[in-house]
Amino acid sequence: MSGLTKAFGPRTLFSGVSFRIGPGDRLAVAGRNGAGKTTLLRILAGEEHPDAGGVSLPRGQRVALHDQRPDAQAAGTVREYVEQGLAHARDAEVRLADLEARMASGDHGPATMSAYERAQGDLEAAGGYQWRSWVERVTRGLGLAGDHLDRPLASLSGGELTRASLARALAGRPDVLLLDEPTNHLDMEAMEWLEGIVRDAGAAVVMVSHDRWFLESTATAVLDISGGRARLWPMGYSAFRRARAEDDAQQAALAERRREEMERLERFVTRWRAGTRARQAKSRARALDRLAPIESPTRERSLAFGFPKAERPGRIVLEADGLRVEVAGRVLVDEAGFSVERGSRIAIVGPNGAGKTTLVETLLGRREAAAGRVSMGHKVLPAYFSQHAREYDDQRTLAETVKAGTSLTETEARRLLGRFLFPGELADRTVEGLSGGERRRLGLVSLVAEGGNLLVLDEPTNHLDVESREALEDALLAYDGTILLVSHDRALIDAVATHTLSLEDGGAVVRGGGWGDLATAREAAGAAAASAPAPARPAPPRKKDSAPRRPSNGRLAREVSRLEARIAGLEADLAGIEAEVEQAGAAGDIDQVTVLGERHRAVQDDLSYAMAEWEDRAAMLAEGR
């Protein structure tokens, strides 16, 4: 990338951006919302054109962009959409089959053999004959396997469509992978899976994300866009944040020293210009002319707020006993029992669809429990921040909205809005004109204005940039009340939470610590389960003519393990056959190529069957848990 410049009307997003990225490099693009990060990705993908500068790629390099706003009008099924990224693999496979048929009929000419080698090389570059297995692996990792693949694309929700876009970008194994907010709409398990895929991709990766944990896990360098300029930092994400803070501090100190030096010289010149030290004053004036002010680092304003002091409630803030949570007859949580003590900060975690928001609404009394009880403690005043935007009167101004239902004066409401980046005349805007991110900030303003000694926050970091997330993190750490937090932001959970409440196996498990402690506990539990022998249980007698019994979880787990081993063996067999095909092709042994091709198709069929059987058993195991 050389000298990239892009403006929209009178506003320049960035100017003179230059950097180089190679295979295996993973570049995080940092900057405030509106800095031009998404626009930069689209320029790299060729979907937008810069006003100046250019992008150069070696011939034949393939580029894939995952857009956080994919085309909702695309036709076809999910499978067809995802496999668009592998059109080159399908084309190479068709060419190989055609060439094999020609060679089998006696066409062994140099042109045919050369075309065969090219097609074989193209297929190898696309992942070989295993590209369908790779598609299955990617879609399964992103929660789109099974019935999802045959659904019409138009039937997907916004989050599912975004995951399909990410699957298409990853499935194509591009040379340059461009990711715009790839962790949106992913649960924790899928995020961790994605981190491994990105690290192992071997592609040149350029990514935009507000997920600090993801960036820390994947980025090898950071391109910081600020004030229309860009600077490359060849280091990991947390190292970049520390180095930039130190650099800003040094720059500010230099700017302050230069300002003081120029003021001192100016005072001397003014005082002695016509006095007894006029010659020295003239020398100082020349020195002053040679000096130029050093620009102090400028960072755009960030959120800066805190929560009001909370009224002290009783020791037990909230308690659940034998709690069952259901939705449309489906049990999400059963026999849950836990208590929340004053001052604790509990993060509720679990996969998408586990019922985190439903549990929160049940705890707050907004939804009736299917069984069990929930009780609030003495003097508990909950304040709820929903992941869904609050319903406001669109015709009210921001100041009027914040004052409604509170005792704030006009001045206090405006001062509070200013701390949430709605200063001055912006407080007189109507709610109607706010963007999604601005509505989220207004929701935080209302939360602070309400007070309360139990904060219940459901995905509070959606639409917030990194600086704003850190401001929220600082405010929560300083808050002296109790917090229930639902979030996919692992960095926020790790920094804030004193405990996690994990929804797993239909229950709610409370553990001490943040996200790192939870991950360590799960790894230890997984290792213990893997090493422990399965307990032998006698099967109960089966009644005659009864419906077939569902296999036990232990048996299903063993079948899943057996199938995984079989799949790995079949994939290894395919790789061996492909190596033999390459050798036979190079030696011109057409008969052997034909025989190997038949073997390859047979093994590929076995692999497809094993994959389907694995999905069936894995789904049954998940339901049983």
Rounded to 5 degrees, what angle do the CA atoms 585, 587, 592 make? 60
Please tell me whether residues 620 and 489 are part of one structural domain. no
pLDDT tens, 421-437? 888 888 898 988 887 77
Mean pLDDT, the chain, rounded, equals 83
Rounded to 5 degrees, what angle do the CA atoms 152, 352, 530 make? 115
Q: How far apart are CA 605 and CA 580, in angstroms?
A: 19
Between 488 and 601, residue with greater pLDDT: 488
Please tell me whether residues 602 and 490 are part of one structural domain. no
Give the per-residue pLDDT at 545.
Answer: 36
Q: Within its chain, how far is the Cα of 512 from the centroid?
A: 25
Q: How far apart are CA 248 and CA 298, in angstroms?
A: 9
Please tell me whether residues 505 and 457 are part of one structural domain. yes
Q: Which of 526, 544, 564 is the last residue of a domain?
A: 526
Q: How far apart are CA 414 and CA 397, in angstroms?
A: 11
Q: Is 51 helix (H, G, I), strand (E, B) or coil?
A: coil
Nearest to 171 by CA among 44, 60, 79: 79
Q: Is 184 helix (H, G, I), strand (E, B) or coil?
A: coil
Please tell me whether residues 366 and 441 are part of one structural domain. yes
Give the per-residue pLDDT at 138.
Answer: 86
Q: Are 89 and 80 in contact (CB under 8 A)?
A: no
- pLDDT over 60 at 550, yes or no: no
Please tell me whether residues 464 and 343 are part of one structural domain. yes
Please tell me whether residues 372 and 281 are part of one structural domain. no
Please tell me whether residues 614 and 518 are part of one structural domain. no
Q: Which two tokens stand for residue 250?
A: 């040094």
- pLDDT over 90 at 577, yes or no: no
- pLDDT over 90 at 522, yes or no: no
600 falls within a domain: yes
Nearest to 599 by CA among 624, 618, 621, 580: 580
Give the per-residue pLDDT at 224.
Answer: 93
Residue type, 300: E
Name the pLDDT band for 282 (thresholds 50, 70, 90): confident
- pLDDT over 90 at 353, yes or no: no
Q: How far apart are CA 274 and CA 403, in angstroms?
A: 61
Q: Which residues contact 237 (CB under 8 A, 6 or more apart)?
A: 28, 212, 215, 216, 219, 222
pLDDT tens, 454-488? 999 999 888 788 888 888 898 899 899 999 999 99
136 falls within a domain: yes
Please tell me whether residues 398 and 263 are part of one structural domain. no
* Alpha-carbon distances of 415 from 357, 418, 437, 442, 576, rounded to whole Å: 32, 5, 20, 13, 69
- pLDDT over 70 at 168, yes or no: yes
- pLDDT over 80 at 165, yes or no: yes
Q: Which residues contact 261 (CB under 8 A, 6 or more apart)?
A: 291
Nearest to 405 by CA among 419, 425, 391: 391
* Alpha-carbon distances of 418 from 237, 269, 319, 349, 522, rounded to whole Å: 30, 42, 37, 33, 43
- pLDDT over 80 at 214, yes or no: yes
Q: Which of 157, 174, 202 is the last residue of a domain?
A: 157
Q: Are strands 482-486 and 454-458 parallel, antiparallel or unpaired?
A: parallel
278 falls within a domain: yes
Q: How far apart are CA 69 and CA 179, in angstroms?
A: 11
Give the per-residue pLDDT at 464.
Answer: 81
Number of separate domains in the chain: 4
Q: Give phi and psi for 355, each to the nearest 5.
A: 105, 25
* Alpha-carbon distances of 551 from 534, 559, 584, rounded to whole Å: 15, 10, 46
Between 543 and 614, residue with greater pLDDT: 614
Give the per-residue pLDDT at 543.
Answer: 35
Least confident of 108-112, 121-125, 402-406: 121-125
Which is it for the CA torsion 212, 214, 216, 218, positive or negative? negative
Q: Are 206 and 44 in contact (CB under 8 A)?
A: yes
Q: How far apart are CA 144 and CA 162, in angstroms?
A: 11
Name the pLDDT band for 606 (thresholds 50, 70, 90): low
Across residues 569-596, what is the average pLDDT?
A: 73
Q: Are 502 and 508 in contact (CB under 8 A)?
A: yes
pLDDT tens, 34-45? 788 999 999 999
486 falls within a domain: yes
344 falls within a domain: yes
Nearest to 41 by CA among 200, 202, 205: 205
End-to-end CA distance of the chain: 50
Least confident of 13-22, 199-208, 254-263, 289-298: 289-298
pTM of the entire structure?
0.73
Burial class (CB in 10 A: 0-12, 13-18, 19+), 564: middle
- pLDDT over 80 at 213, yes or no: yes
24 falls within a domain: no
Least confident of 66-75, 240-249, 285-294, 306-315: 66-75
Across residues 94-118, what is the average pLDDT?
A: 81
Least confident of 170-179, 457-466, 595-604: 595-604
Q: Within its chain, how far is the Cα of 238 from the centroid?
A: 17
Please tell me whether residues 423 and 569 are part of one structural domain. no
Please tell me whether residues 479 and 570 are part of one structural domain. no
Q: Are 37 and 224 in contact (CB under 8 A)?
A: no
Q: Which two tokens stand for residue 312?
A: 């002290």
Print burial letters for 22-32: b (CB count within 10 Å at least 16), e (below 16): eeebbbbbbbb
Please tell me whether residues 341 and 473 are part of one structural domain. yes
6 falls within a domain: no
Q: How far apart are CA 195 and CA 205, in angstroms?
A: 12
Rounded to 5 degrees, what angle do the CA atoms 411, 412, 414 make? 65
Domain hosting 148: range is: 74-157
Across residues 165-175, what is the average pLDDT?
A: 88
Name the pLDDT band for 547 (thresholds 50, 70, 90): very low
- Give the 3-state secondary structure of 498-554: CEEEEEECCEEEEEECCHHHHHHHHHHHHHHHHHCCCCCCCCCCCCCCCCCCCCCHH
Name the pLDDT band for 235 (thresholds 50, 70, 90): very high
Give the per-residue pLDDT at 94.
Answer: 81
Least confident of 95-99, 266-270, 425-429, 563-567: 563-567
pLDDT tens, 134-153? 788 888 888 887 777 888 87
Least confident of 151-160, 366-375, 602-611: 602-611
CATH number at residue 510: 3.40.50.300
Please tell me whether residues 338 and 260 are part of one structural domain. no
Q: Which of 256, 274, 290 is the last residue of a domain?
A: 290
Q: Which two tokens stand for residue 338?
A: 């836990």
Name the pLDDT band for 613 (thresholds 50, 70, 90): low
Which is it for the CA torsion 408, 409, 414, 419, positive or negative? negative
Calculate what percentage of the chain has a pLDDT beyond 90: 28
Q: How far apart are CA 357 and CA 372, in angstroms?
A: 18
Between 399 and 539, residue with greater pLDDT: 399
How many residues are recorded in the chain?
625
- pLDDT over 80 at 530, yes or no: no
Q: Which two tokens stand for residue 381?
A: 């005043």
Give the per-residue pLDDT at 447.
Answer: 86
548 falls within a domain: no
Nearest to 214 by CA among 180, 170, 173: 180
